Structure 1
Amino acid sequence: MITITERAEKQINTIIKEEGYDQSHFLRVSVESGGCSGLSYKLDFDNQEKPGDQFFEDKGIRIALDIKSFLYLAGTELDYTDGLNGKGFNFHNPNASRTCACGESFSV
Structure 2
Amino acid sequence: MQRSWTLLTTLTRSTTVRTHIHTHVRSCLRSIERQHSFHSVRPFISTHKYRAFSHSAITRDAALNGPQYKPATVENGLTISDKAIKQLKYIAERDNDDKMMLRILVDSGGCHGYQNKLEITDTVEEDDTVFEMDGVRVVVDSISLQFVRGSTVDFVEELIGSTFQVIDNPNAKNSCGCNISYDIDLDMLTQN
Settle same-fold status: TM greater than 0.5. Answer: yes
The residue number in structure 1 matching 2:26 is none
Superposed displacement of residue 95, structure 1: 1.0
Q: Is the 8 A contact 2:155 2:162 kept in 1?
A: yes
Gaps of 5+ in 1: none
**Aligned with residue 152 of structure 2, among 77, 99, 105:** 77
SS in 2 for 1:45: strand
- Moved segments of 4+, more than 3 Å: 83-87
SS in 2 for 1:14: helix
SS in 2 for 1:22: coil
Superposed displacement of residue 81, structure 1: 2.5
Matches within 5 A, 1:21-60: 21-60=96-135
CA distance in 2, matches of 1:29, 1:86: 19
Q: Note if 1:104 corresponds to 2:104.
A: no
SS in 2 for 1:97: strand
Q: Is the 8 A contact 1:27 1:44 kept in 2?
A: yes
Q: Is the 8 A contact 1:4 1:59 kept in 2?
A: no
Superposed displacement of residue 12, structure 1: 1.6
Counterpart AA for 1:60: G
Gaps of 5+ in 2: 1-76, 185-192
CA distance in 2, matches of 1:21, 1:46: 14
Superposed displacement of residue 24, structure 1: 2.1
Superposed displacement of residue 17, structure 1: 2.6
Counterpart AA for 1:36: C
Q: Is the 8 A contact 1:97 1:106 kept in 2?
A: yes
SS in 1 for 2:97: coil
The residue number in structure 2 matching 1:3 is 79
Q: Which has the higher strand share?
A: 1
**Percentage identity across aligned positions?**
34
The root-mean-square deviation of aligned C-alpha atoms, in Å, is 1.8
Counterpart AA for 2:88: I
The residue number in structure 1 matching 2:89 is 13
Counterpart AA for 2:99: S
CA distance in 2, matches of 1:28, 1:86: 19
CA distance in 2, matches of 1:25, 1:83: 24
